[in-house]
Structure 1
Amino acid sequence: MTNEAQPHETTSAHTTPGFRLGDPGDVVIHAGPRLSPRLVSVPTRHSEHLIDLVAGDDLFDSVTGLLKTLDVSGLMVEFVAGEFGRIDYVYPAYGPDAERPMSFTTEFHHAGPAVLCHASATVGAKGGEPFAHIHASWLTEEGLAEGGHLLPGTLVGPNGMRLRVFALADAQQLSEADPETGFFAFAPTALHTPAAESAQGSVSMSESAQGSSNAVISRVRPGELIDDAIVAICREAGFDSAEVRASLGSTTGAVFFDGTAPWPAVEFTHLTGSVRGALGDDPRLRLDAEVVDVAGEVHAGQLVLGANPVAVTFELLVLPT
């Protein structure tokens, strides 16, 4: 749900709530003040890198260390293949009451090894220090699918791990307390460089002199439909066709074409998709995702459009095609 597992109140797994549950896709109104704008977007140049991690690497130290290695202040990351060693994690849980229906479980540990299925990360800073928000799913040695919100202490497994890293040249990600939801959340912020300032307002789809293409990173606030948000981001940036990569966040349950995951929150281990005709009257989207629910179960499929509002926050990377 957030980039830091500091909920209103932690619960054990499968705790039964004492309030009425909604249906998957029902909007949650949070107790804090409703903030504007609902979409916070920053255009940026980006470069793409394949990075290999080796057995025993600390996952959080490794991904946050890439900020210095790549000389940027923000990253979006897709996990391509590999293996976890130790995994420390939580997953969504019911909150204490109807006004605060979302929380996290207590901490779980998996001794590993476990094969990576999907994972995504946003990397930036919190309190002036490098910080990462990582959601993942994996297969245990027994063949069980598990997943959740990873915590520091997670290690790379014996067969290593490969990452696809999108380095953001003109933007940073800052984790701050969100008064609307009561959670911490990443928000993109423009870096005040000549290239960044010239990119504000409209985004050209031509390549930069450094050979990197343009991108937009966005934070979507609660209650906004994820597909509507993506179309709005494309229109603001001038992207008629685009792809969504390396994106993660939460929705209020999940509604797939072939099933649902329960309300009030699921966390996405990844979101990918394509947009066509965003500047016209009939945009066409396809969004594929995997989520972890309040029972720790993993669901995947194609999202139904107009049915998946953000629960706490969503962190999107949109690239023109």
Structure 2
Amino acid sequence: MRQIRHPGPVAATRTSAIADAPIHLRFTLQPGDRVDAGIAKGFAAAGCLGGVVAFDSGSCDPFQFVIPAVSRDGAHAAWYSDVFSPEGAVEMKQCVGIVGDRDGKPFLHCHGMWQTSDGLRMGHMLAPTCVVAQPIVVTGLGFAHATFSATYDAETHFTLFEPVAAGAQAPSPPTSSLLVRVRPNEDVCLALESLCTSHGIASANVFGIGSLNEVYFADGRQMHSHATELLIRQGRVTSVDGAPRARLEIAVVDMEGNISEGEIRRGDNPVCVTFELVIEPLALFP
């Protein structure tokens, strides 16, 4: 399987997971809200510290985003493009975000697809600069006793979300969801299956965003870009012959701005920089 070399020492632990009971969320961002601030407000109102959100309605004006790019300084394995600032209102088509904190303040890491005056585009939203123009309905899973916290990662030299316990700890029921991070060069499907096995999860929904080192689809298509940005359109874990089996359908953008969609091939899609996930169990192994 493909490997990408990062500048720092390889961390011994390749996946991280924290369990907490999920709180189902639904709220609306209003015109004039900044996307990040509006989502932070919705989480705070529900007593949640972090989690995952999705939205596919409304628009923003102004709006800014970046796409993956070759590293400019040699200190990272990949980097970001120059900022794109489309003219006029930008319609949200499908967006997934991980909610947590950075430097003690709420922070949103969001990938998505949006309709601009230049056509359909995809990338990494610069949420603090994006202002809601038409209402955006947000759904998601929030957590009161766990979150994602942005910390410096010595392996990649990026500041990345890491799942952490937070607040007053409450007992986690067996059906608690998992807040997850997968590190570079791990196949994302196999990592999910391993985590489900260790937590006794037979079937689950999977939500999240991340990056892959090239993308190999189940139908044979390939995206030859060592840096990508993607979101999970539909993620499922089911029990096959008594073991969890992951299937992920994604939307992904490469370093040229090309967008591809489809189910990825299990066992042949290594993480580039990071993958941030929420696993929502549907059934446990007996």
TM-score normalised by length of structure 1: 0.81
In the TM superposition, residue 264 of structure 1 has moved relative to its aligned partner by 1.0
Opposite residue 28 of structure 1, the aligned amino acid is: I
Are positions 1:249 and 2:210 aligned together?
yes
| Alignment counterpart, residue 192 of structure 2, candidates 208, 230, 237 | 230
Q: 1:150 corresponds to which residue?
A: 125
Change (3 A) 1:183 1:278: farther
In the TM superposition, residue 157 of structure 1 has moved relative to its aligned partner by 2.7
In the TM superposition, residue 148 of structure 1 has moved relative to its aligned partner by 1.0
How does 1:65-80 map onto structure 2 within 5 Å? 65-80=41-56
Opposite residue 34 of structure 1, the aligned amino acid is: V
**Aligned to 1:64, what secondary structure does the other structure show?**
helix
In the TM superposition, residue 256 of structure 1 has moved relative to its aligned partner by 1.5
How does 1:3-152 map onto structure 2 within 5 Å? 26-96=2-72, 100-141=76-117, 144-151=119-126, 152=128
In the TM superposition, residue 137 of structure 1 has moved relative to its aligned partner by 0.9
Identity, in percent, stands at 29
Opposite residue 204 of structure 1, the aligned amino acid is: P
In the TM superposition, residue 170 of structure 1 has moved relative to its aligned partner by 1.9
Are positions 1:168 and 2:143 aligned together?
yes
Q: 2:165 corresponds to which residue?
A: 190
In the TM superposition, residue 294 of structure 1 has moved relative to its aligned partner by 0.2
- Preserved CA contact (<8 Å) 1:269 1:292: no
Distance in 2 (alpha carbons) for counterparts of 1:194 and 1:100: 36
Change (3 A) 1:193 1:36: farther
Change (3 A) 1:97 1:124: closer
Change (3 A) 1:279 1:155: farther
* CA deviation profile, 1:18-66 (whole Å, cap 9, x unmatched): xxxxxxx722021101113111000110111111112232111111223
In the TM superposition, residue 115 of structure 1 has moved relative to its aligned partner by 2.2
Change (3 A) 1:83 1:270: farther
How does 1:152-301 map onto structure 2 within 5 Å? 152-158=128-134, 160-191=135-166, 193-195=168-170, 198-199=171-172, 204-205=174-175, 214-245=176-207, 247-258=208-219, 259-277=221-239, 280-281=242-243, 283-301=244-262
* CA deviation profile, 1:224-276 (whole Å, cap 9, x unmatched): 1000111112112211111102x001111211234222221111133431111
In the TM superposition, residue 312 of structure 1 has moved relative to its aligned partner by 0.6
- Preserved CA contact (<8 Å) 1:238 1:279: no
**Aligned to 1:272, what secondary structure does the other structure show?**
strand
Opposite residue 270 of structure 2, the aligned amino acid is: P
Opposite residue 203 of structure 2, the aligned amino acid is: S
Name structure 2 gaps, 5 residues minimum: none
Distance in 2 (alpha carbons) for counterparts of 1:204 and 1:279: 22
- Preserved CA contact (<8 Å) 2:5 2:77: no
- Preserved CA contact (<8 Å) 1:249 1:315: yes
- Preserved CA contact (<8 Å) 1:54 1:161: yes
Name structure 1 gaps, 5 residues minimum: 1-24, 206-213
RMSD (Å) for aligned C-alpha atoms: 2.0
Deviates more, 1:266-275 or 1:163-172: 266-275
User: Which stretches of structure 1, 4 residues or more, deviate above 6 A after TM superposition?
Assistant: none
**Aligned to 2:57, what secondary structure does the other structure show?**
strand
Q: 2:277 corresponds to which residue?
A: 316
In the TM superposition, residue 191 of structure 1 has moved relative to its aligned partner by 2.5
Opposite residue 265 of structure 1, the aligned amino acid is: A
**Aligned to 1:230, what secondary structure does the other structure show?**
helix
In the TM superposition, residue 194 of structure 1 has moved relative to its aligned partner by 4.1
In the TM superposition, residue 81 of structure 1 has moved relative to its aligned partner by 2.4
Deviates more, 1:84-93 or 1:216-225: 84-93
In the TM superposition, residue 278 of structure 1 has moved relative to its aligned partner by 6.7
Change (3 A) 1:99 1:262: farther
